[in-house]
Amino acid sequence: MHIGQTALRRRALLKATVLGAALACSPAQYRTLLAGPVARGAGPYGALLGPDANGLLLPKGFRSRIVAVSGLRVGLVDGASPYVWHTAPDGAACFPEADGGWRYVNNSEVGGGLGGVGGIRFAADGSPLEAYSVLEGTSRNCAGGVTPWGTWLSCEEAGDGGQVWECAPDGSWEGVPHPMLGLYNHEAVAVDPVNQHLFLTEDDPGGLFYRWVMAEGRFDDAMASGRMRADDPEDGTLQAAVMAEDGAVEWVDVPDPTATPLRDSVDATPFDGGEGIWYDSGFVYFTTKGDTRVWVHDIAGQRISVLYDGVEDPEGGLAGVDNVTIAPSGDVLVAEDGGNMEIRMITADTREVVPLVQMPGPAHEGSEVTGPCFSPDGTRLYFSSQRAGLDGPGEGITYEVTGPFRTERVGIAATATPS
């Protein structure tokens, strides 16, 4: 890719992050939201309708298309790509291009060194132009995270040897591991560009919630070069969260990020199966599947709160909480690992827990919803059914949904109605 385009993309990513912070509701409003109970209602888009042409249940005004099917060549505007879409599609993200298009990257959660990352480039009108490999030779690439300097951090859920790999969304350079982010069963990572921290989840019943504190100057170096450094102790410090009963958080240094099992080398608070994570406007949202919770870390307040507790909402709520993303509106989207095969929203303004997408039928039996993410303008939602096929269970299908998504930040309701 041309250097000018790369620099423009990094600036666009940073601008989007800063703009999101500027438009966000105040910390006080968010704390009011976190204190309220979940509500029942129709949400901003209304009830789901019957199956569309691709078998998905969507609200009125929304439509879907199949972007890629595992094991098949990706279809482009000028024919099929040589690139065969990978098996077990998982975590994903979109990156803006200078021409108004974007690149979509998607992990492959396959073990034995057969995982990695694939990519598709889209034109400004959403037409697929190119499909290609981004990363090869890694194992069980689960979720990951976007960086402000324009790279994709792909996380290996590969036991106590799993690493975080940094990749170019256009596949222009070979992905590199970052061992100082820890060797463990990685799930996902989110970058706080204000405080220059990375937050990471660990998919283990006794997993920890980690923070990587970048050394002075390393963030600026990454913004300038388009790559980060986390290869030796001078690049930063890995820490783990210690949470008090009232949610207050302290951070303790991890003595050796390469120790295994890492979680046994530091006295910190366990989180039951850390899954997806996302940074938005001074808050870090993450999920834990073992206790069906959605958490929020208030960075400025150094406090962790429970946004959603599945134990307290057993009927009709979220199940198998997994990947998470934040819509431009501030709505929290959570993908289900099993459950009703849904993407559900926790609305930012009314704190309703409502379905946005459902994938019923035998094609999705035994599957999970993975990788929800929005195009840079917030009008297209991408996600996969990891073990679905066109005629029954298979190796994965990746979808796009378009419709009247709320693309402006909405206000936080002062109160919420109990369910």
In this structure, how many other beta carbons lie within 10 angstroms of the beta carbon of residue 7? 16
Q: Where are the domains of the chain?
A: 18-413
pLDDT in the model for residue 37: 53
- Contact of 56 with 66, CB cutoff 8 Å: no
Determine the Cα–Cα distance for residues 49 and 302; give it in Å rounded to an integer. Answer: 42
- What's the whole-number average pLDDT of the chain? 90
Mean pLDDT in residue range 384-407 = 96
pLDDT in the model for residue 222: 98
pLDDT in the model for residue 38: 66
In this structure, how many other beta carbons lie within 10 angstroms of the beta carbon of residue 186? 31
pLDDT in the model for residue 351: 86
Percent of the chain with pLDDT over 90: 82
Determine the Cα–Cα distance for residues 108 and 175; give it in Å rounded to an integer. Answer: 14
Percent of the chain with pLDDT over 70: 89
Highest mean pLDDT among 98-102, 315-319, 410-414: 98-102
Determine the Cα–Cα distance for residues 24 and 409; give it in Å rounded to an integer. Answer: 7
- Of 284, 278, 254, the C-alpha closest to 183 is 254
Determine the Cα–Cα distance for residues 412 and 329; give it in Å rounded to an integer. Answer: 11
pTM: 0.91
> Which pLDDT tens digit goes with each residue over 172-195?
999 999 999 999 999 999 999 999
Bridge partner residues of 373 (DSSP): 382
pLDDT in the model for residue 34: 52
Residue bearing tokens 């350079």: 173
pLDDT in the model for residue 18: 34
pLDDT in the model for residue 8: 45
Q: What letters, b where the CB count within 10 A reaches 16 and e where it falls short, cover 82-98?
A: ebbbbbbbbbbbbbbbe
pLDDT in the model for residue 317: 81
> Which pLDDT tens digit goes with each residue over 200-217?
999 999 999 999 999 999
Mean pLDDT in residue range 263-289 = 97
pLDDT in the model for residue 412: 59
Indicate if the pLDDT at residue 356 is higher than 80. yes
Architecture of domain 18-413: 6 Propeller (2.120)
HSE, CB side, 13 Å, CA atoms: give it for residue 348: 25
- 135 φ/ψ angles, rounded to the nearest 5 degrees: -150, 140
Q: Which residue has the higher pLDDT, 30 or 312?
A: 312
Q: What six digits make up the tokens of 123?
A: 């034109």
Determine the Cα–Cα distance for residues 218 and 54; give it in Å rounded to an integer. Answer: 46
pLDDT in the model for residue 316: 63
Determine the Cα–Cα distance for residues 135 and 130; give it in Å rounded to an integer. Answer: 16
| CA angle (207 as vertex; 138, 143 as ends), nearest 5 | 35
> Which pLDDT tens digit goes with each residue over 11-60?
454 434 433 333 344 454 454 455 455 677 789 999 999 999 999 999 99
Determine the Cα–Cα distance for residues 35 and 51; give it in Å rounded to an integer. Answer: 36
User: In the structure, how many helices (H) and strands (E) does the chain have?
Assistant: 3, 27
